[in-house]
Chain A
Amino acid sequence: GESVGLHLPTLSVQEGDNSIINCAYSNSASDYFIWYKQESGKGPQFIIDIRSNMDKRQGQRVTVLLNKTVKHLSLQIAATQPGDSAVYFCAENDGGFKTIFGAGTRLFVKA
């Protein structure tokens, strides 16, 4: 919520283009990964998740890729729309009950 992300990494894309947001995670024991979207004044909202036994998962206009070798996660958004403008967080879970969030990336969509 609030005005998060003033010092966040920023990605600016043209409306209609594809967006790729990257995330590096540190815990090799993490086996569940989630992408959240946070719009101004709101709490984070679930977008898509992936378990460590998969390397790709697709949703509606979104795809998550997982590379466990280099501990890298990416979120691809197809045909980016102005409503996609937000801060995006990757999050990880090691099979317990605690979800740990990364620092986030702010996505700007230019009309």
Chain B
Amino acid sequence: DTGVSQNPRHKITKRGQNVTFRCDPISEHNRLYWYRQTLGQGPEFLTYFQNEAQLEKSRLLSDRFSAERPKGSFSTLEIQRTEQGDSAMYLCARTGTGNTGELFFGEGSRLTVL
């Protein structure tokens, strides 16, 4: 158990619909990251939070994507007007309580856009 829970695990939607993924880390006292992973690729950084502050966003995160971390605990990633190219695994990760750079990943939310 990595202490990161993600849901839904799978989401199938039609192009143009909005989807939201949720990430619940075990502790609010750490950084929280979102990554995207497509078939045959390594995870690509999307954004991260320190508490409730979103400190960095990748240029991969177009204006159709928005992430929040209200109260510095759970986080949501919303994709508006989904496109087929958004189909991917969306991974959430937290840092540990120590000062290491290790990331603890959830099992991901797989999005399929038809």
Mark A residues whose CB is within 8 Å of B: 1-8, 32, 34, 41-46, 49, 89, 91, 93, 97-104
Contacts and interface: CB of A to CB of B under 8 A. Distances in A.
Given A42-B107, A43-B2, A43-B91, A7 B55 contact: no
Contacts of A2: 37, 39, 89, 108, 110
Interface in B5-44: 31, 33, 35, 37, 39-44
Binding site secondary structure of chain A: loop
A49 B42 contact: no
A46 B105 CA distance: 9
A100 B106 contact: no
Contacts of A5: 40
Binding site secondary structure of chain B: strand
Contacts of A46: 102-104
Nearest to A43: B105
A34 B44 contact: no
Most buried by A among B35, B89, B93, B101: B101
A101 B48 CA distance: 15
Nearest to B108: A1
A3 B103 contact: no
Contacts of A43: 2, 4, 91, 93, 105-108
Contact of A6 (B39, B42, B104): B39
Nearest to B103: A99
A1 B103 contact: no
Given A43-B2, A104-B41, A104-B42, 14 more contacts: A1-B91, A1-B107, A4-B41, A8-B40, A42-B108, A43-B105, A44-B91, A46-B102, A46-B104, A49-B101, A89-B42, A99-B103, A101-B43, A101-B44
